[in-house]
Amino acid sequence: MAVAQQPQEQQTQSKIPTKRIILWLGVISLLVFCLAPALWQLLTSFKTNDAIATIPTIYFPNLSELTFNHYITLGWNFLRYVFNSALVSVISTVICLGVGAPAAYTLARLNIPGKQIILSCVLVVSLFPYVLLFLGLLELVKYFGLGNNYISLIIPYTAINLPLTILVLRSFFLQLPKDLEDSAKIDGYRTVPMLLQIVLPLTLPALVTTGMLAFIFAWNEFIFALTFITKDEMLTIPVKVAQIGGASVYEIPYGPIAAATVLGTIPLILLVLFFQRRIVQGITAGAVKG
Amino acid sequence: MTTLQLENLRKQFAPDVIPVKDISLSVEDGEFLTLLGPSGCGKSTLLRLIAGLEQPTAGAVKIGGNVLNDIAPGDRNMAMVFQSYALYPHMNVSENISTSLRLKNVPQEEIKRRIANVSEKLGLGHLLNRKPSALSGGQRQRVALARALVRDPEVFLLDEPLSNLDALLREQVRQELKELFKSQNKPVVYVTHDQTEAMTLSSKVAVLLDGIIQQLDPPRRIYTHPANKFVAGFVGSPQMNLLTLNCNQNKAILGDYGFPLPQKGQSAKMIDMGLRPEDIHIATPEDELTVEGHVFLEENFGREVLLSVKVKGSDQTLRALIPPDDEWDNENIKLGWSHRQMHWFDAQSGERIEAADSPVLAS
Ligand SMILES: Nc1ncnc2c1ncn2[C@@H]1O[C@H](COP(=O)(O)OP(=O)(O)OP(=O)(O)O)[C@@H](O)[C@H]1O
Ligand SMILES: [Mg+2]
């Protein structure tokens, strides 16, 4: 054995450096490619106005070119918009999962007539570009007098996210072993406790993933938020950021905009980092087979 | 005293999908009934009907005379072991085992006592705090068994519980199962497509095909008196020789040879002859029935050699299990067997034809 392994080891040893280098080159270029715009915003948000305006661009500012002022000008008021965004996003995500998960389970497990038709409808709706709904929705919002009401955002966000949620969760339920549910029934679980105590814990990773997608969409959505809400204290972050203006039409306050963008993104990042741990890969491992 | 009874059970999923057609049987306390059949013959469906996971299209499931059709699976007091084990992945072993007891509000001390009891019996003591994902296949299988045993149910249902184990482990667990369920003294319904399991474990075997019981008998009798061609071919390894032969005046013709038909005055033109490879040997002078032929395939199993022999004057093949120390000539081998070891089946219906002179054994 030992003799046979030696040449192999040598081979792998000589291969590792080139492989490693290529790997890390790839990782770094991918990171730069993806993160450059975000890092640029982060940098801008800490640079003084003079430093921002300087050409050639300052990539590595010294201490005198750094400032917290942009954040300070935003003030505590900005938290109000964070709150608005959070409220709308959380509620629409929760409703989306609360409605989508049972629907997906039903479509995965029960034999209901017209199931295929329902599924293809869901698929078609999810393919529909949501901006096209905009005018119709605007009429509806006007008709029901929902303007300047969080509901006017919560309902469309929920509706737009639902089809994808249903499709993703359904395919998740489909691959969940049915034996588990049968076994639970034999153990004496009633339907609802079975769903809550056996199916739900196993579904958490999928719920977190789809929930996160729904949340991010709601958090970043702009057009609806811009049109359906006009009261300043109810604006969501993307709209507020776009409205940050300078003293004159010709002055674009890059610093505060960057600071607002960063502040608006931090909750998302925290959320993703927090839930990333919950997405335990292969939580069903060990349920079936050997 | 519990008796599990099935009466004219039928399950139809779609107009042309009827995995269980018309099944009636009963299993008493301490009886071990095995449902044996090829894949897709409706074994699992039948078991799920008994457990209440499927509603029968017609017929009834009874325990001790009470019809269970409208009783939820959880209230039937039956324990089921699934082919895939179906352990709850988010619960540790002791939670997995005790779920059903907790749901029935069994007192905490009693639960503890029972877990300790069953985990000692199955050697799970040191695994109680592990999640199923941290167990080996054999250990998972034990947890699944423990989950059934701990409930002290009225009926045990097992769906191919050994099919995910490797061959050695399977043999070992098979013996344990046998002892385990003997001590339980409850009706056991066991599904398998493995005939060794069926033969070794059960007190009764029901051979299923196309949703119908082909034969319901003790394992020994299934082997010695297969009720029809399907059972004959399905039970026994290597498979029984089944040859369709022409008949000619009281004789079935195989190549240059003729064998007396089982019943006098038989009018059919064709008949099926069955002969187990292990019943054939190298002919000795005393043999009543012999054929000659040449060996065209030799498979060595170690303990025995399986010879495939083309019979002289015919293109039909007989397979014979011969001890390897026997001597034979590949070009011209002479095989022998006795009358008693022959099985006859109607060529049309496949039903067994009892030989007139052989006494019908009462089982
Ligand atoms: N819910 C269902 N809907 C429609 N057809 C079904 C359903 N469940 C089982 N069947 C069909 O019934 C037949 C018997 O299935 P079953 O699971 O009982 O087979 P089995 O004997 O257990 O086979 P195996 O040995 O492979 O487990 C199969 O043809 C299967 O396709
Ligand atoms: Mg099966």
Q: Measured between CB atoms, which of A182, A186, A287 is closest to B132?
A: A287
Å between B179 CA and nearest CA of chain A: 24
Range list for CATH 1.10.3720.10 in chain A: 75-284
pLDDT in tens, B191-241: 998 889 999 999 999 999 999 999 999 999 999 999 999 999 999 889 999
Gap between the Cα atoms of A215 and B3, Å rounded: 57
* pLDDT score for A284: 46
pLDDT in tens, B327-339: 889 899 999 999 8
Gap between the Cα atoms of A85 and A236, Å rounded: 5
Q: Which residue of B has its CA nearest to A284?
A: B89
DSSP-based three-state secondary structure for B25: strand
Q: Is residue B268's pLDDT more than 90?
A: no
Query: Please, what is the Cα angle at B337 between B335 and B342, to 5 degrees?
Result: 125
DSSP-based three-state secondary structure for A6: helix
- % of chain B with per-residue pLDDT over 70: 98
* CA of B42, closest atom in ligand 1: 18
**Number of other CB atoms surrounding residue A229 within 10 Å:** 22
* pLDDT score for A2: 45
A75-284, which class in CATH?
A: mainly alpha
- Cis amide bond preceding B238, omega within 30: yes
Burial group, residue A128, by CB count within 10 angstroms (0-12, 13-18, 19+):
exposed
* DSSP single-letter state for residue A244: -
End-to-end CA distance of chain B: 24
DSSP-based three-state secondary structure for B283: coil
| Whether B151 contacts B75, CB under 8 Å | no
Task: Walk me through the domains of chain B, giving residue ranges and CATH numbers.
Answer: 4-229 (3.40.50.300), 239-353 (2.40.50.140)
Band of the pLDDT at B159, cuts 50, 70, 90? very high
Lowest mean pLDDT among A118-127, A274-283, B308-317, B336-345: A274-283
Average pLDDT over chain B reads: 90
DSSP-based three-state secondary structure for B361: coil
Q: Is residue B126's pLDDT more than 80?
A: yes
Q: Is residue B161's pLDDT more than 50?
A: yes
DSSP string, B94-133: HHHHHHHHHHTT--HHHHHHHHHHHHHHTT-GGGTTS-GG
Gap between the Cα atoms of A13 and A6, Å rounded: 11
Q: Which of residues 249-288 of A touch B (CB under 8 A)?
A: 282-288
User: B264: Cβ–Cβ under 8 A, 6 or more apart, which residues?
Assistant: B250, B356
Q: How large is the ipTM?
A: 0.83
Average the pLDDT over A16-27 and give the result.
Answer: 90
User: B259: Cβ–Cβ under 8 A, 6 or more apart, which residues?
Assistant: B245, B251, B252, B273, B289, B342
pLDDT in tens, A243-260: 887 666 677 788 888 888
Ligand 1 pocket check for B43: Cβ under 6 Å: yes
Q: Which residue of B has its CA nearest to A199?
A: B88
**Nearest alpha-carbon partner for B148 in B239, B76, B240, B82:** B82
Chain B residues whose beta carbon lies within 8 Å of the beta carbon of residue A188: 74-75, 100, 103-104
Q: Is residue A286's pLDDT more than 50?
A: no
Gap between the Cα atoms of B5 and B247, Å rounded: 43
| Whether B10 contacts B201, CB under 8 Å | no
pLDDT in tens, A81-99: 999 999 999 999 999 999 9
